[in-house]
């Protein structure tokens, strides 16, 4: 008995015998091979492209002859004429099996494709979006078997796509009849099925075959900035990334001052909710405009945020988060209509997913970092620090993961720093100070050259030297410590004590003059004593949070440190360690993960199964609440010294020698006073 031809798919390796004449798309579906299709095999969408291979395949035990597939047909020819098919490609819905064949499914034809992140520490994102397009042909109405248009659309979806119940909201329902008639009973629909949904939702409908794309926004809603990535929901590609300042800053720079604002001003929470929602609408509009897409094609948004931002976004008064036991209104993930958050720039039926919070002050942003960095898969003990106005800190490995949030304040983001500015051309980002001459040299964003290299002046002529960005501040203060301009308590010495005229009196303290262009009406860029105190408070909070997690884990050392966050990505590991921001580890064990919270949001946007995953993971993470932990204060105080009052930084000592200097105050600077005033 002769067997039906064998069809082997690569890269999946799936294989099966199929009757002569079976379309490749049908064979793929029967074997569960990941081959895309929007038009259901009608030769319209071109998503089903495959590449047949011919010749001997000893590995597979087949010989594929040139006539293993049906001949190139008129549908393929039409598509090739109109759009062009890559050489060797066929449409899987048109080419039929004629003999044994090996079929390669290229990445762009796979629905659940992996999107490879470019960074060295990258993980791949699997594409499995909650919203997809389906082209469907619907029966015309018939007086003898009266049914509604929506019901016939549902029947067609069931027959042609095996789709179960579809629900529709009124605004979309009103558009079903015109779309069906205009499309001559063929339409493309956008269907959304959340990870916990038993049914699909009709989000939008277009007459005929819709050529456009669907998009999603992954939004990292931070206390200081709101960052968004616009992603193509078919391939995960980031079309555009943009960020704006959070307008709530005017109600308070840090989270607790916003909670206080809500407590002390009736309706204050509503005011902040309105502001942030408006900002998100503005951001969505501008990002769509820059990417030159219709914002109505944005069908989904995923939010990650800390608990206070979470509540203010949702319109929930954050007052409970201002006092122990810091009860969240809900820590579960949320799946909502975008309209419920007044998101009216994007598609009116768009859906929103908000990652779960871990608990108390540990929010959905920490959950997103966990999703992106996967400490629960780590063999060694990893400390992951997402540096922002609040630091999200995770410590863990395969056996256990702990998390806390530490109130670092906005100093790391350049706020509260006299010459601080955001990372933009003209900002000083790298600094070294000669330990003998105490003279600085620096690099600014936009120039590869150092300030003492020939050609520097010309390169920076257009931007100037405008201020110091967050990573620059870390470097300059650490360099001041290495050069003996500042002592371990954080005090800047006088010109006499330090041996440099760059130590300039400022009231009863001193400042270090980094760059002076005042003769040319340019800025005078200094590091003041107050700047150092602000960074000391921030770094102590960060270190104390990490140390608290280490106590809880019962360890004195970690194996590696991952610095995340837009700012964390640019911090020099050596300088962070000189300051004592992070525990002492070998320098090559400090890596940077970029915007891990934003990446976590992108993963949840592109892969609906990741939503299940993170919801399960947060249940297993042990949360440590810094605000009520007495040891936090102890750790905080010990960590104000630079690098630390009591801990030995052995790895650091092997690469840099810190001078033993002490500059007597004789000033009214007193870090403890600020600490006491400091609000959490
Ligand atoms: S499935 Fe749409 S063109 Fe083949």
The 3-class secondary structure across 410-443, one letter per residue, is HHHHCCCCCCECCCCCCEEEEEEECCCCCCEEEE
| Residue 674, pLDDT above cutoff 50 | no
| CB-based burial, 120-144: b 16+ in 10 Å, e otherwise | eeebebbbebbbbbbbbebeeeeee
Q: Is the distance from CB of 26 to CB of 36 less than 8 angstroms?
A: no
pLDDT over threshold 50, residue 675:
no
Q: Which residues of 301-333 are buried (b: 16+ CB within 10 A; e: fewer)?
A: bbbbbbbbbbbbbbbbbbebbbeeebebeebeb
Evaluate: CB of 43 within 6 angstroms of ligand 1.
yes
Average pLDDT estimate for 60-75: 93
Q: Both ends of the chain: CA-CA distance in Å?
A: 80
Would the CB of 91 count as within 6 Å of ligand 1? yes
User: What is the per-residue pLDDT for 120?
Assistant: 33
Distance CA 81, CA 37 (A): 20
> If you measure from the C-alpha of residue 57 to the centroid of ligand 1, how many angstroms do you get, rounded to a whole number?
28
> What letter does residue 130 receive in the DSSP assignment?
S
Atom of ligand 1 nearest to the CA of 45: 2
Inter-residue contact 46 to 25 (CB < 8 Å)? no
Ligand 1 site-directed mutation target among 27, 28, 43, 160, most atoms within 8 Å of CB: 43
- Ligand 1 mutation pick, 45, 69, 85, 161, max ligand atoms within 8 A of CB: 45
Q: How far apart are CA 303 and CA 601, in angstroms?
A: 6
pLDDT tens, position by position, 342-371: 999 999 999 999 999 988 788 899 999 999
Residue 518 and residue 382: Cα distance in Å, rounded?
46
Scan for tokens 């597939």, then name that residue.
69
573 lines ligand 1 (CB under 6 A): no
39 C-beta closer than 6 A to ligand 1? yes
pLDDT, tens digit, 9 for 90 and up, residues 41-65: 888 888 899 999 999 888 888 999 9
Strand order in the sheet with 334-337: 238-245, 225-232, 215-221, 298-305, 351-354, 334-337
Strand order in the sheet with 524-527: 503-506, 509-516, 524-527
What's the pLDDT score for residue 671?
Answer: 47
Adjacent-strand bridge partners of 201? 167, 192
Q: Is 47 in the pocket of ligand 1 (CB under 6 A)?
A: yes
Task: Judge if the beta carbon of residue 35 lies within 6 A of ligand 1.
Answer: no
For residue 266, is pLDDT > 60? yes
Ligand 1 site, residue 48, Cβ cutoff 6 A: yes
pLDDT at 677: 44
pLDDT of the residue at 590: 93
Nearest CA, atom 2, ligand 1: 45
Q: How far away, in angstroms, is 93 Cα from ligand 1 center?
A: 5
The verdict on the CB of residue 305 being under 6 Å from ligand 1 is no
Testing ligand 1's pocket by substitution, the residue of 49, 85, 91, 161 carrying the most ligand atoms inside 8 A of its CB is 91
Distance CA 225, CA 209 (A): 39
Confidence at residue 114, expressed as pLDDT on a 0 to 100 scale = 57
CA of 133 to the centre of ligand 1 (A): 13
Does residue 163's CB lie within 6 angstroms of at least one atom of ligand 1? no
Measured CA to CA, the distance from residue 219 to residue 230 in angstroms comes to 9
Q: Which atom of ligand 1 is nearest to the CA of 91?
A: 4
What separation in Å is there between the alpha carbon of 222 and the centre of ligand 1? 42
In this predicted structure, the answer to whether residue 672 has a pLDDT above a threshold of 80 is no
322: number of CA atoms within 13 Å, CB side?
A: 16
Average pLDDT over residues 482-496: 96
Separation of 346 CA from ligand 1 center, angstroms? 28
Residue 38 alpha carbon, nearest atom of ligand 1: 2
- Residue 36 alpha carbon, nearest atom of ligand 1: 1
Run of H or E including 302: strand 298-305
Q: How many CA atoms lie within 13 A of 158 on its CB side?
A: 11
Q: How far is the CA of 36 from the centre of ligand 1 (A)?
A: 8
Residue with tokens 């209104």: 329
> Ligand 1: does its nearest atom lie under 6 Å from the Cβ of 44?
yes
User: Of all atoms in ligand 1, which is nearest to the CA of residue 43?
Assistant: 3
* 27 CA to centre of own chain: 38
For position 61, what pLDDT does the model report?
Answer: 86
Percent of the chain with pLDDT over 90: 67
Q: Tell me the best of 28, 44, 89, 160 to mutate to test the pocket of ligand 1, counting ligand atoms within 8 Å of each CB and taking the most.
A: 44
Query: What confidence category does residue 595 fall into, taking pLDDT thresholds of 50, 70 and 90?
Result: confident
User: What is the 8-class DSSP label of residue 320?
Assistant: G
What distance in angstroms lies between residue 28's CA and the mean position of ligand 1's atoms? 13
45 CA from centroid of ligand 1 (Å):
5
Q: Is 464 in the pocket of ligand 1 (CB under 6 A)?
A: no
Ligand 1 geometric centre to CA of 193 (Å): 22
Quick: pLDDT tens for 495-523: 999 999 999 999 999 999 999 988 887 88
Average pLDDT, the chain: 90
Point out which residues pair with 50 in neighbouring strands.
90
Q: Output the CA angle 553-558-561, nearest 5 degrees.
A: 120
Largest CA distance in the chain: 101
Summarize the confidence of residues 189-197 as an average pLDDT: 96
Strand 382-386 relative to strand 560-564, pairing: parallel
Q: How much distance in Å is there from the Cα of 95 to the middle of ligand 1?
A: 11
Rounded average pLDDT over 436-445:
95
Per-residue confidence (pLDDT) for residue 123, from 0 to 100: 55
pLDDT at 461: 86
| Helix, strand, coil abundance in the chain, percent, nearest 5 | 35, 25, 40
315 pLDDT above the threshold of 70: yes
Judge if the beta carbon of residue 133 lies within 6 A of ligand 1. Answer: no
Mean pLDDT, residues 649-673: 75
Centre of ligand 1 from the C-alpha of residue 3, in Å: 28
For residue 665, pLDDT over 70 is answered with: no
Q: Would you state the structure tokens that stand for residue 31, as one six-digit string?
A: 């074997």
**Ligand 1 test: best mutation among 46, 49, 75, 90, most atoms within 8 Å of CB?**
46
What is the model's pTM? 0.80
- Cβ-contact 650, 658 below 8 angstroms: no
Ligand 1 site, residue 90, Cβ cutoff 6 A: no
Q: Which of 23, 39, 73 to mutate to test the pocket of ligand 1 (most atoms within 8 A of CB)?
A: 39
For a pocket test of ligand 1, which of 29, 35, 47, 234 has the largest count of ligand atoms closer than 8 A to its C-beta? 47
| Confidence class for position 678, pLDDT limits 50, 70, 90 | very low
Cβ of residue 41 lying under 6 Å from some atom of ligand 1: yes
User: Residues 161-173: what's their mean pLDDT?
Assistant: 95
Neighbours of 361 (CB within 10 A): 27
Pairwise CA distance, residues 179 & 183, whole Å: 6
Which residue CA neighbors atom 1 of ligand 1 most closely?
A: 41
CA-nearest of 297, 597, 544, 315 to 407 is 544
Q: Find the DSSP H helices in 129-169.
A: 149-161
**Main-chain dihedrals φ then ψ at residue 15, nearest 5 degrees:** -145, 155
Local confidence band at 188 (pLDDT 50, 70, 90 cut-offs): very high
Q: Give yes or no for residue 164 having a pLDDT over 90.
A: yes
Q: Which two tokens stand for residue 561?
A: 């440190």
Minimum mean pLDDT among 84-93, 389-398, 665-674: which range? 665-674
Output the pLDDT for position 113: 62
Is the shortest distance between the CB of 109 and ligand 1 below 6 Å? no
């Amino acid at each position: 008995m002769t067997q039906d031809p064998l069809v082997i798919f690569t890269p999946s390796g799936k294989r099966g015998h199929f009757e002569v004449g079976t379309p490749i798309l049908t064979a793929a579906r029967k074997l569960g091979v990941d081959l895309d299709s929007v038009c259901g095999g009608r030769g319209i969408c071109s998503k089903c492209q495959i590449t047949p291979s011919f010749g001997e395949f000893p590995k597979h035990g087949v010989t594929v002859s040139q006539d293993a597939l049906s001949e190139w047909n008129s549908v393929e020819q039409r598509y090739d004429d109109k759009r062009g098919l890559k050489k060797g490609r066929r449409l899987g819905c048109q080419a039929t099996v004629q003999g044994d064949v090996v079929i390669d499914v290229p990445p762009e034809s796979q629905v659940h494709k992996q999107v490879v992140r470019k960074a060295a520490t990258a993980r791949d994102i699997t594409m499995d979006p909650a919203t997809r397009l389906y082209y469907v042909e619907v029966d015309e109405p018939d007086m003898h078997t009266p049914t509604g248009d929506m019901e016939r659309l549902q029947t067609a979806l069931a027959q042609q796509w095996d789709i179960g119940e579809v629900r529709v909201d009124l605004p979309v329902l009103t558009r079903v009849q015109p779309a069906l008639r205009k499309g001559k009973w063929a339409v493309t629909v956008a269907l959304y099925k959340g990870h916990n949904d038993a049914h699909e939702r009709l989000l939008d409908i277009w007459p005929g075959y819709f050529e456009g794309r669907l998009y999603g926004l992954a939004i990292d809603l931070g206390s200081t900035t709101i960052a968004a990535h616009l992603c193509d929901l078919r391939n995960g590609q980031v079309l555009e990334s943009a960020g704006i300042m959070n307008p709530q800053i005017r109600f308070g720079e840090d989270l607790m001052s916003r909670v206080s604002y809500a407590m002390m001003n009736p309706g204050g929470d509503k005011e902040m909710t309105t502001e942030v929602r408006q900002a998100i609408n503005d951001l969505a509009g501008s990002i769509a405009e820059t990417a030159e897409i219709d914002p109505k094609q944005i069908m989904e948004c995923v939010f990650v945020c800390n608990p206070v931002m979470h509540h203010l976004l949702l319109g929930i008064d954050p007052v409970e988060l201002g006092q122990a036991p810091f009860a969240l209104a809900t820590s579960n993930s949320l799946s909502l209509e975008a309209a419920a958050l007044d998101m009216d720039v994007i598609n009116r039926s768009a859906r929103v997913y908000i990652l779960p919070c871990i608990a108390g002050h540990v929010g959905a942003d920490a959950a997103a970092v966990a999703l992106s960095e996967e400490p629960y898969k780590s063999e060694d003990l990893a400390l992951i620090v997402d540096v922002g106005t609040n630091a999200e800190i995770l410590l863990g490995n395969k056996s256990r993961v702990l998390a806390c949030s530490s109130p670092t304040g906005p100093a790391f983001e350049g706020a509260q720093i006299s010459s601080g500015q955001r990372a933009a051309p003209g900002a000083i980002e790298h600094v070294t100070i000669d330990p003998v001459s105490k003279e600085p040299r620096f690099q600014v964003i936009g120039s590869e050259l150092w300030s003492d290299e020939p050609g520097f002046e010309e390169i920076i002529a257009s931007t100037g030297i405008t201020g110091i960005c967050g990573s620059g501040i870390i470097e300059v203060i650490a360099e001041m410590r290495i050069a003996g301009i500042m002592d371990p308590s954080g005090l800047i010495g006088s010109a006499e004590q330090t041996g440099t005229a760059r130590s300039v009196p400022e009231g009863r303290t001193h400042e270090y003059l980094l760059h002076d262009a005042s003769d040319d009406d340019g800025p005078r860029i200094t590091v003041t004593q107050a700047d150092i105190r602000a960074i000391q408070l921030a770094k102590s909070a960060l270190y104390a949070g990490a140390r608290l997690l280490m106590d809880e884990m019962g360890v004195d050392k970690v194996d590696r440190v991952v610095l995340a966050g837009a700012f964390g990505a640019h911090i020099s590991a050596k300088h962070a360690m000189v300051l004592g921001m992070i525990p002492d580890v070998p320098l090559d064990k400090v890596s940077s993960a970029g915007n891990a919270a934003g990446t976590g949001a992108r993963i949840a946007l592109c892969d609906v199964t990741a939503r299940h995953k993170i919801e399960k993971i947060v249940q297993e993470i042990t949360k440590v609440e810094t605000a009520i932990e007495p040891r936090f204060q102890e750790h905080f105080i010990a960590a104000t010294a630079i690098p630390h009052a009591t801990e030995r930084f052995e790895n650091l000592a092997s690469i840099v020698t810190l001078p033993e200097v002490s500059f007597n105050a004789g000033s009214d600077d007193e870090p403890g006073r600020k600490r006491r005033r400091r609000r959490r």
